[in-house]
Structure 1
Amino acid sequence: MAVGKSAIGQQLAQHLGARFVDTDAEVVAQHGTIADIFASRGECAFRELEARAVAHAIEDAAGSSAAGTNTAVTPTVISLGGGAVLDSGTQQLLAGCTVVYLECDADTVSERIARNSGRPLLAGDAMERWRTLFATRQPVYERLADLVLDVRSGSVTDLAHRLEDALEQRAATPTAAAPAPAATKEVE
């Protein structure tokens, strides 16, 4: 939460000439605000909607249709919410993608979190909740990541350029497979 995933992802997609998908924005567009979903249907219902949005975004990027026919891969940067990677199905789907961990710390996100009180999982002592969530999620982020981008300093443009360079370098190494649709995930 609050690491700049949407801003960096949009900028990266622009640099790459790729499509950008924010799975949280997709859920909101189809089902209402995340806070409202949490309040009316609970976190479990939100996680189901989130997992479906991630699966749809990855399938679209891979060129799969509902009928199971494959078309050309569409270069896509997919931004995931911080809890999306906890779903085992999402983890399996991400195995076919280049996954980027946006690494940050509490000091860097504290101001952003203070400005945005609409995060249901951060109700109460927001920074203490963030630290608890991060401690649970960090090992998963690290395990799934193909690349790590430290977002503690630099402008959005600078960070997107650094990420673009890292992706190009990864693609150029003989042991790296051609990058699948890029999926950035928010990491606190």
Structure 2
Amino acid sequence: MPASETPRRQAGSRRPIVLIGPMAVGKSAIGQQLAQHLGARFIDTDAEVVSQHGAIADIFASRGECAFREMEARAVSRAVEDAAESPTVISLGGGAVLDSGTQQLLAGCTVVYLECDAGTVADRIARNSGRPLLAGDAMERWRTLFATRQPVYERLADIVLDVRHGTVADLAHRLEDALRRPAGTAAAAPAATKKVEL
């Protein structure tokens, strides 16, 4: 977003900071670190669904993806509503952004897209076989889902954080610095992108 339009990104704002991006990109890990740095609460909407309804794989198996998406959308809505009470960092599941109601809610948030490629997540996916949407050839499924969702991530993002290189701590610090930067001083991406790229 052009520097002249950056006030919505300031850490002191009451706007929730919402991390979006594909599965296994590190939204929860980076979000937790960022929340600690900012003195904010952290909410992982997938974890909220699990705490209320059980394992995601079990929900998919017994009730189907549509039921899970409804639970997910409710969890996002509650998280954004609760964020009005205190500074909050929210991590969304990879497919949560496909819900139209969630997209509308995100218009009132500072949205950070964690940008990566298949190579960035390959090791994490290989170590975690519990993702129902990645059954079968996990990396091929990941690439297919990412190709579908990437335009949505890019459209919704206020900030794009390239997570291909750097530790979780490094990435959280980069994001914190961008969020704390006073309005009008952030180094912005070309105006046509209407977002800040880190």
Q: Give the TM-score normalised by structure 2.
A: 0.81
Task: Tell me which residue corresponds to 1:149.
Answer: 161
**Pick aligned residue for 2:58 from 7, 13, 36:** 36
SS of the residue corresponding to residue 25 of structure 2 reads coil
The CA deviation at 1:38 is 0.3
Residue type of the partner of 1:104?
Answer: C
The question of 1:91 aligning with 2:113 is answered: no
Task: Tell me which residue corresponds to 1:173.
Answer: 183
Task: Tell me which residue corresponds to 1:71.
Answer: none
Query: Identical aligned pairs, as a percentage?
Result: 87
SS of the residue corresponding to residue 114 of structure 2 reads strand
Q: Deviations over 1:89-128 (max 9, x none)?
A: 0000000000000001100101100000000000001000
Task: Tell me which residue corresponds to 1:186.
Answer: none
**Structure 2, unaligned stretches of length 5 or more?**
1-22, 187-198
* Whole-Å separation in 2 of the counterparts to 1:166 and 1:129: 33
**Pick aligned residue for 2:68 from 15, 32, 46:** 46
The CA deviation at 1:55 is 0.2
Where in structure 1 do 4 or more consecutive aligned residues deviate above 2 Å? none
* Whole-Å separation in 1 of the counterparts to 2:155 and 2:47: 25
* Whole-Å separation in 1 of the counterparts to 2:177 and 2:156: 20
Task: Tell me which residue corresponds to 1:103.
Answer: 115
Q: What's the RMSD between the two structures over aligned residues?
A: 1.2
**Pick aligned residue for 2:33 from 11, 16, 28:** 11
**Pick aligned residue for 1:159 from 167, 171, 179:** 171
The CA deviation at 1:58 is 0.1
Task: Tell me which residue corresponds to 2:89.
Answer: 77
The aligned length equals 164
* Whole-Å separation in 1 of the counterparts to 2:106 and 2:185: 19
The question of 1:122 aligning with 2:141 is answered: no
SS of the residue corresponding to residue 62 of structure 1 reads coil
* Whole-Å separation in 2 of the counterparts to 1:175 and 1:39: 49
Q: Give the TM-score normalised by structure 1.
A: 0.85
* Whole-Å separation in 2 of the counterparts to 1:161 and 1:150: 13
* Whole-Å separation in 2 of the counterparts to 1:158 and 1:30: 33
The CA deviation at 1:173 is 1.8
The CA deviation at 1:20 is 0.2
